[in-house]
Amino acid sequence: MNRKIMSAVGVAAATSLALTGCGGESEPAAAEGPVTITLAGWDFASTPEFQTLADAYHEANPDVTVELKEYPAGDDYDTALTADLSAGAAPDVFIVKNLKNYVTFTEGGTLLDISDVAAELDPETGGLESMAVDGVTYAVPYRQDSWLLYYNKALFEQAGVDLPDGSWTWDDYAAAAEELTTGIDEKQVTGTYLHSWQSAVQGFALAQTEGASIDGGDFSYLAPYYERELATQEAGAQPSYATVTTNELTYQAQFGTQKAAMMPMGSWYIGTLVAEQESGAAETFEWGIAPMPQLDESTTGTENTPVTFGDPTTMGINAGIDESKIATAKDFLRFAAGPDGAAALAEIGITPALIDDAAADAIFSLEGVPQDDLSRFAYTTHETLPENPVGPTTAGIQTILGEMHSAVMSESTPVDEAITEAEERVANEVG
């Protein structure tokens, strides 16, 4: 399905972009007059960011049409996009949705070198540095979600448990989850909710453990994180992994219908929760966000920078683009990843890669977003490290670690045994 959205850059601006490209090579001259570029996206009905960016770009520069091409959501996006790239039918600009597949796109020669665009972006742009491969950047982040701790203030009050204050370690979090469960004392209401994704455990372990690496062959750093989650599960302070997967529980329903007093989840849920409370899909209650619990006290408290994780969502340019459209496509990327794109995304509750004051103000001006100081601190202040560090072995390793996650959380394999098996598999199966 194609949908045309008017968007763009004036003729003068497009012409001015015929500048020197990367590596000292001259960039082809920009097309004169009206220009149409195409942009890949998915699930337009529930994912408004693509139209939002196009509309905002058009408002500033009305001479280029950005035509959106809709792809399937989920893992099918990469499959369908790859097929179009192979057939020479892919859009001019496309989203690198899954960071673990970024190297596959770069090695396949399907992405244009846009190091010049990256060099012009604010260095505080989340995830920007990690996109360089051997000194060359092929995609730039326009979104950077980070994991935060959501909590239900009413359920905390009901249980008589102090609200999160930014000082929690994981042990504090686990203790609070048990206290909340006991204090609330309602069937099917737990102190916290852990979704079934492997990242909900492994992402924090990788980000917060000094020296941890996904490609170093040693996954022992995962053990304390899994042992803690299994203990919390055993205490009944969160639904078991088997319950989550068998009953196909959704995190939106668990937190939104007040079945969990806390929940670690990405910053994308802010906009979702606001919208669902407004529509009635979620119940009405007062909530807040706090920094994620930390491995130790060295990164707790508002005087420090808490460590969390999250992959950027990035845009790149199809290497097969018509040369006359390269300058326009690069300008669109500068806009999307820059302050104007950030402000446009924040206004619809989406976390941009560049969280400047304007973007934070836009998020916290949305009706329903908590206004307390800790919520703003949690949203704006953190070191966010990638779940999927860019590298040629990341995708293969993550597949193995995903299977390890299921084995551990379902309690079919003890933690240490599962980690040893994963280490042996990576050594033998991932080149």
Q: Which pair of structure tokens corresponds to residue 250?
A: 């959704």
pLDDT digits (tens, 9 = 90+) for 162-212: 999 999 999 999 999 999 999 999 999 999 999 999 999 999 999 999 999
Q: Does 3 score more than 50 pLDDT?
A: no
Q: Tell me the mean pLDDT in the region 418-424.
A: 98
Q: Would you place residue 12 in the very low, low, confident or very high pLDDT band (cuts 50, 70, 90)?
A: very low
For residue 29, the model assigns a pLDDT of 60
What is d(CA 232, CA 213) in angstroms, rounded to the nearest whole number? 26
Q: Enumerate long-range contacts of 396-404, CB under 8 Å, 24 or more apart.
A: 396/426, 396/429, 396/430, 396/431, 397/214, 397/215, 397/426, 397/430, 398/100, 398/198, 398/214, 400/425, 400/426, 400/429, 400/430, 401/198, 401/202, 401/214, 401/219, 402/198, 404/198, 404/219
For residue 27, the model assigns a pLDDT of 61
- Asked if residue 199 lies in contact with residue 222, where contact means CB atoms within 8 angstroms, the answer is no
Q: Would you place residue 19 in the very low, low, confident or very high pLDDT band (cuts 50, 70, 90)?
A: very low
What is d(CA 321, CA 301) in angstroms, rounded to the nearest whole number? 48
pLDDT above 90 covers a percentage of the chain that reads 84
Q: Report the SS3 class of residue 137.
A: strand
pLDDT digits (tens, 9 = 90+) for 52-95: 998 888 888 889 889 999 999 988 999 999 999 999 999 999 99
Q: Does 242 score more than 90 pLDDT?
A: yes
Q: Report the SS3 class of residue 141.
A: strand
Q: Tell me the mean pLDDT in the region 378-401.
A: 94
Strand ranges, E, within 223-366: 262-266, 287-290, 307-309, 312-317
- Asked if residue 128 lies in contact with residue 250, where contact means CB atoms within 8 angstroms, the answer is no
For residue 30, the model assigns a pLDDT of 59
For residue 58, the model assigns a pLDDT of 82
Q: Tell me the mean pLDDT in the region 213-218.
A: 94
Phi, psi of 385 (to 5 degrees): -105, 150
Q: Does 7 score more than 50 pLDDT?
A: no
CATH 3.40.190.10 range(s) for the chain read 8-146+310-355, 147-307+390-429
Q: Crossing angle, helix 415-429 and helix 394-409, to 10 degrees?
A: 160
For residue 128, the model assigns a pLDDT of 95
Whether pTM > 0.75 for this model: the answer is yes
Q: Does 10 score more than 50 pLDDT?
A: no
More confident position, 162 or 7: 162
Instruction: Tabulate helix, strand, coil % of the chain (nearest 5).
Output: 45, 15, 40
For residue 20, the model assigns a pLDDT of 31
For residue 385, the model assigns a pLDDT of 95
Q: Would you place residue 45 in the very low, low, confident or very high pLDDT band (cuts 50, 70, 90)?
A: confident
Q: Does 17 score more than 80 pLDDT?
A: no
Q: Would you place residue 338 in the very low, low, confident or very high pLDDT band (cuts 50, 70, 90)?
A: very high
Q: Which pair of structure tokens corresponds to residue 339?
A: 């302050």
For residue 26, the model assigns a pLDDT of 56
Q: Does 1 score more than 80 pLDDT?
A: no
Residues whose CB is less than 8 angstroms from the CB of residue 405 and which lie 6 or more positions away in sequence, other chains included: 198, 201, 202
For residue 191, the model assigns a pLDDT of 98
For residue 65, the model assigns a pLDDT of 87
For residue 428, the model assigns a pLDDT of 96
Q: Tell me the mean pLDDT in the region 21-34.
A: 56
For residue 28, the model assigns a pLDDT of 62
Q: Does 5 score more than 90 pLDDT?
A: no
Q: Does 9 score more than 50 pLDDT?
A: no
What is d(CA 124, CA 382) in angstroms, rounded to the nearest whole number? 12
Q: Tell me the mean pLDDT in the region 126-147.
A: 95
What is d(CA 374, CA 248) in angstroms, rounded to the nearest whole number? 32
Average pLDDT, the chain: 91
What is d(CA 23, CA 213) in angstroms, rounded to the nearest whole number? 32
Superfamily of domain covering 147-307+390-429: Periplasmic binding protein-like II (3.40.190.10)
Element (H, E) at 148: strand 147-152
For residue 46, the model assigns a pLDDT of 83
Q: Which pair of structure tokens corresponds to residue 356?
A: 């400047």
| Check whether domain 8-146+310-355 has CATH 3.40.190.10, yes or no | yes
Nearest to 162 by CA among 297, 261, 308, 299: 261
Q: 24-33, 115-124, 129-138 — which is least confidently predicted?
A: 24-33
Torsion of CA 195, 200, 202, 203, to 10 degrees: 160
For residue 11, the model assigns a pLDDT of 27
pLDDT digits (tens, 9 = 90+) for 355-364: 999 999 999 9
For residue 236, the model assigns a pLDDT of 97
Cα 66 from chain centroid? 24
Question: Rounded to a whole number, what is the largest CA-CA distance in the chain?
Answer: 69
